Structure 1
Amino acid sequence: MDELNSSVVPSNISSSPGPPPPASWVYTGLIPALVLSVCFLLGVPGNIAVIILRPNWQHLSSLSQSLMLNLAISDLLCLLTLPLWIYTLLYSWTLGLVTCKLLTYLVYCCLYGSMLTVTALSIQRYLQVVHLQKCFDRVGKKRMLGLLWLIAMILSIPSLVVRQLISDQRGTTCDSHFSSSAQHVAVLLSETLTGIVSITVVVFSYISLHWKVNQAALFNNPQTTRLVTSIIVTFFVLLMPFHITNIVGVAAISLNNDSLLKSCMDSRNIVGALLFVNSFMNPLLYAFASRNMCTVCQKREHE
């Protein structure tokens, strides 16, 4: 997710000096700022409620509870940084280079952690419902969560390398600056590959789970159908635009098409904001709607 926070912070690639026209500022600044504000106002209380109340968790496995708690914490940490990015979208970055790099790294870690947790949760549910396998003991669970965050930290390292303070007549931004086109392409491809693999695993796991559940009339439950469908559609719709934009950006760099690259950079504010929408939607999808999935798991175990 190299351009992940470039999604939140205006990109200066292929941009002309001078203040942007009002229509451009509305698209690249005001609209993303409004979306991020909604994410902050709804997502922070939602994830705090999940951490404190742990709704419908009493019958869930220990691993499921740990994964959903991990998801809520990573989403909450990510959303708590939004006021700074909103201010930067509307005004300018004023906190220096070190804070720019560290805060960006934190956001990347949290977004990667959230995505990997959702992926792990889909695999765990797939194994539990389809193959009736319980995953990991107490020690294995801690090792899995540790490995998950280690991978997220490693994947986030490019943000420390490419983030710089970029100043022009509009002010200063905490933005990505690439030393070469090859570096830009490499980071975009690695980021997109991770996202597409995660999306593929989630979609496969839940489709297989849904197919297995609906084999028996006992489990042919419209609530389960709605839950699985909402998880797949939400995850796909909110994450894929970002990765499609990355792929188009790689094509633009390869073809030396500056106008197409500029269009990708301009649209990155909007598609990046969708990643944070996913963070405030997760409590609804995975915590507050977990009871029905738990019922399915219990029925499969006693089948």
Structure 2
Amino acid sequence: MGEIRVDNFSIDYFFSGDIDSYNYSSDLPPTLPDAAPCHPENLEINRYAVVIIYVLVTLLSLLGNSLVMLVILYNRSTCSVTDVYLLNLAIADLLFALTLPVWAASKVNGWIFGTAMCKIFSFVKEVTFYSSVLLLACISMDRYLAIVHATSTLIQKRHLVKFVCITMWVLSVLVSLPILILRNIVKANSFTLVCYEDAGNNTTKWRMVLRFLPQTIGFLLPLLIMLFCYGSTLRTLFKAHMGQKHRAMRVIFAVVLVFLLCWLPYNLVLFSDTLMRTKKIQETCKRRNDIDRALQATEILGFLHSCLNPIIYAFIGQKFRYGLLKIMATYGLVSKEFLAKQGRPSFVGSSSGNTSTTL
């Protein structure tokens, strides 16, 4: 199959994987080096499976992150610095997940929601993705400052934490502006419209530029910050034999580990695809199809991240469980005797006692 050109915009006739993923037109010749034209595989069954996964992720994220927000806001009088970060993280994950049903519908029927909604949903998805990972990096720096440098008197001030969170949201908006500007309705073929970047003859170049942002600001830079901060924090805790604080850090370590497991595979595949698209490695039909399938699978794993943090809190976070049971006891959903048996958690954090990590 050849390529369809719409208003000087070159786009592959067949979209494998999510139409919103970073799959770029590669300007391939009609015949590839393996001497066979690329015939896309039929992924119709996979498409409907992905739709089901998207909907399930949305429902789990809606339930889990809403509970996290409820627990933190209900106990806002004892809300710690880390809780403020985690509240913003829950908001970002929830908003991200709420865009998924729209992308799920577009996988079946193409984009039927108009140009304005294409720009808005693409923009919201991008902003919440960046804010989520940047907030995780902020949490790691907060722990690093509180434990390694003992700067509790600085980080315990609520207005500074709110300023940091607002800054992360503003930065996320700024790096997402190219998506808002370039996203448009494009014909994938004579029957299907898609929400896609459209910069005329420069579309391929712009999509490669846009790929650089999520791989650096959205993954590599925050990952390096987290590895440095948590590596230094762990070393300090072990040297000081601070076992209790180490146990209190389990939730945050788990949150970062889950982020790594969810997004590392996608970014590795995306990097491989970048090498192929920029001719650093040879592009063949088999390699192209393999990478497209891998992008689809690993992107789903990345999207799953938006609903996993609340599960971590429920199974590891003593403070979260106690806060949720406290709300349930207030409304008679569990007995106060049962709540008393659970025991009030011991909040451990920085020397100020105001940066608890036991959520």
TM-score range, shorter chain: 0.7 to 0.9
Q: Deviations 1:3-46 (Å, cap 9, x if unpaired)?
A: xxx85637584699xx9644x2334x234323322211211100
Q: Is the 8 A contact 2:156 2:352 kept in 1?
A: no
Instruction: Check if 1:248 corresponds to 2:286.
Output: no
Q: Which residue of 2 aligns with 1:182?
A: 205
SS in 2 for 1:214: helix
Bigger mean CA offset, 219-228 vs 72-81: 219-228
Q: Deviations 1:246-278 (Å, cap 9, x if unpaired)?
A: 322221121073644554444333222223211
Question: Quick one: which of 129, 153, 160 aligns to 2:180?
Answer: 160
Q: 1:97 to 1:290 in 2, by over 3 A?
A: farther
Instruction: Check if 1:144 corresponds to 2:164.
Output: yes
Q: 1:165 to 1:12 in 2, by over 3 A?
A: farther
Give RMSD over aligned pairs: 3.4
Instruction: Check if 1:111 corresponds to 2:123.
Output: no
Instruction: Check if 1:82 corresponds to 2:100.
Output: yes
Q: Deviations 1:163-195 (Å, cap 9, x if unpaired)?
A: 222321552221234624432322212321111
Instruction: Check if 1:278 corresponds to 2:330.
Output: no
- Structure 2-normalised TM-score? 0.70
Instruction: Check if 1:237 corresponds to 2:258.
Output: no
Q: Deviations 1:172-222 (Å, cap 9, x if unpaired)?
A: 221234624432322212321111111121222223222322334451688
SS in 2 for 1:94: coil
Instruction: Check if 1:133 corresponds to 2:135.
Output: no
How many percent of aligned residue pairs carry the same amino acid? 20
State the Cα distance separating 1:58 from its structure 2 match. 6.9
Which segments of 5 or more consecutive residues in structure 2 lack a partner in the other structure?
A: 1-16, 31-38, 321-344, 354-359
State the Cα distance separating 1:300 from its structure 2 match. 8.9
SS in 1 for 2:308: helix
C-alpha separation in 2, matches of 1:180 and 1:262: 22
Q: Is the 8 A contact 1:7 1:271 kept in 2?
A: no
SS in 2 for 1:297: coil
Q: Which residue of 2 aligns with 1:257?
A: 283
C-alpha separation in 1, matches of 2:225 and 2:19: 27
C-alpha separation in 2, matches of 1:20 and 1:49: 43
Q: Is the 8 A contact 1:43 1:279 kept in 2?
A: yes
C-alpha separation in 2, matches of 1:207 and 1:56: 33
Q: Is the 8 A contact 1:199 1:235 kept in 2?
A: no
Q: Is the 8 A contact 1:50 1:283 kept in 2?
A: yes
C-alpha separation in 2, matches of 1:68 and 1:137: 16
Q: Is the 8 A contact 1:8 1:269 kept in 2?
A: no
SS in 2 for 1:132: coil
C-alpha separation in 1, matches of 2:54 and 2:69: 21
Q: Map residues 6-25 of structure 1 onto 2, 5 A cutoff.
A: 7=18, 9=20, 13=25, 21-22=41-42, 24-25=43-44
State the Cα distance separating 1:162 from its structure 2 match. 3.2
Instruction: Check if 1:215 corresponds to 2:239.
Output: yes
Instruction: Check if 1:289 corresponds to 2:301.
Output: no
Q: Is the 8 A contact 2:24 2:204 kept in 1?
A: no
Bigger mean CA offset, 207-216 vs 287-296: 287-296
Instruction: Check if 1:26 corresponds to 2:55.
Output: no
C-alpha separation in 2, matches of 1:222 and 1:285: 16
Bigger mean CA offset, 210-219 vs 149-158: 210-219
Q: Deviations 1:42-99 (Å, cap 9, x if unpaired)?
A: 1110011111122996796642222111111111111112211111122321111111
C-alpha separation in 1, matches of 2:234 and 2:319: 16
C-alpha separation in 1, matches of 2:242 and 2:55: 43
State the Cα distance separating 1:105 from its structure 2 match. 0.2
One-letter identity of the residue aligned with 1:244: L
Which segments of 5 or more consecutive residues in structure 1 lack a partner in the other structure?
A: 1-5
C-alpha separation in 1, matches of 2:139 and 2:318: 11
Question: Quick one: which of 281, 295, 316 aligns to 1:268?
Answer: 295
SS in 1 for 2:239: coil
- How many residues end up aligned between the 2 structures? 293
State the Cα distance separating 1:160 from its structure 2 match. 1.8
- Structure 1-normalised TM-score? 0.81
One-letter identity of the residue aligned with 1:9: D
Which has a greater percent of helix? Answer: 1
